[in-house]
Structure 1
Amino acid sequence: MGQSKLKTNKDLFAAFFRVGLLGFGGGPAAIPLFHREAVVNYKWMTEDEFGDTLALGNTMPGPIATKMAGYIGYRVNGVIGCLIALAASVIPTVVLMILLLGILQKYKELDWVNSMSAAVVPVVGVMLAVMTWDFFQKSGQALGIGRAILFTGIAIVLLEVLNIHPAIVIMGILILSLTSFKKGERSK
């Protein structure tokens, strides 16, 4: 294995180990961390490619964190990269889950433990809101602001009012956008 492949594998492990270590709140909370590593820090993919990967990953069954890690790792360095990224993202989660849940369970009656658990929720909410705003802006650029608002409104009604599964909504909007709008056609 050449020096560049070794460095690539080390980078994959470091990036996904950080995501696994810091991704409190589950897969959705880790998405901004995946974005930071894959798009901003290492430039393994563009903003659009990340958005496409996330959309496709959300339509498939299973945890989003492992799907994202596996795909990005595979894209960067094939099967070896996939395995390294998966291991790096899962190992810290498993170890921390066993240790922290054991500690939290032992001391669950203490006020500071309850406060600490509750304090994580708004941080995850802000991370998801920032990511949502970024995706909305990209949609506005790609589709035009009118269509972006329309699709966002449709998605909110389908998901929150009618309780339709997110995978069905994503697939429906993808099909609608592919069949209704020609490539390159944009609203100004």
Structure 2
Amino acid sequence: MNQWHLFLAFFRVGMLGYGGGPSSIPLVRAEVVAKYRWMADEEFAEILAIANALPGPIATKLAGYIGYRVGGALGLVNAVLATTAPTVVLMIVLLAALSSFKDTPWVAGMTKAVVPVVAVMLAEMTWQFAKQARAALGWRPAALLLLACFLALQWLGLHPALVVAVLLAAAFVGRSKPKAVDRDKGGERRASS
């Protein structure tokens, strides 16, 4: 049954992920976290961060990892095919059909009408991740980190993978530091966190 659910989940992502990888991420989250509960929001955010740091299409990387985790090697193949097959077929069929109508107003309007929908989906997912960051780090550190990442991406023009890699390295270095030991008022030693 997991193989069928994997196929359905990632087939829906492949069919409805209009606009490429970023628009697919909320759809993957809806299937994997909300509908089938194969992982928690926090784990999905971690996987998404790592997938963003790696080369290649985000939807395919997510499908491959989640498919393997849920259904082993067969699940990996199943999820990747379910994600990519609709795109390949629709590209061939739609581009052949739409190329003859590309200058008509209804085709241009159809394409422009999808952009706000994708923007709302990404904004909703961003809000969910911001709430998770606030819960994990606290309000002030989360806001500072969000601002720093925004400035690094928008003002400095850094590639998102570089920002993610720096944050992962900082988290790794911060985690491996030994905890400082201090003394409380009673003279007992305690680890500070």
Q: Could you say whether these structures have the same fold, taking a TM-score greater than 0.5 normalized by the shorter chain as the test?
A: yes
**Cα deviation digits, residues 38-76 of structure 1 (max 9, x gap):** 111111111111001100000000000100000000000
For structure 1, the residue ranges without an aligned partner over 5 or more in a row are 1-6
Please name the residue that 2:55 is paired with.
61
Number of the residue aligned with 1:104: 98
Residues in 1 aligned to 2:164 and 2:149: alpha-carbon distance in whole angstroms: 8
Counterpart position of 2:166: 172
The structure with more radius of gyration: 2
Is 1:11 the counterpart of 2:5? The answer is: yes
Q: Which residue in 1 is equivalent to 2:70? A: 76
Name the CA distance, whole Å, in 2 between partners of 1:8 and 1:178: 34
Q: Offset of 1:174 from its aligned partner?
A: 2.4
Choose which of 12, 32, 45 in structure 1 pairs with 2:26.
Answer: 32
Contact kept? 1:9, 1:77, Cα under 8 Å: yes
What's the counterpart of residue 189 of structure 2?
none
Paired residues for 1:82-97 under 5 Å:
82-97=76-91
> 1:52 matched to which residue of 2?
46
Secondary structure in 2 matching 1:164:
coil
**Matched residues in 1 for 2:98 and 2:134: separation?**
43
Work out the CA distance in 2 between the residues paired with 1:120 and 1:103.
Answer: 19
Whole-Å separation in 2 of the counterparts to 1:179 and 1:83: 35
Is 1:140 aligned to 2:134, yes or no?
yes
| 8 Å contact from structure 1 (residues 151, 173) kept in 2 | no
- SS, match of residue 89 in structure 1: helix
TM-score, length-normalised on structure 1?
0.91
Shift of 1:180: 4.3
More helix per residue: 1 or 2? 1
Report the residue type matching 1:82 in the other structure. L
Aligned residue pairs, count:
179
Gaps of 5+ in 2: 180-191
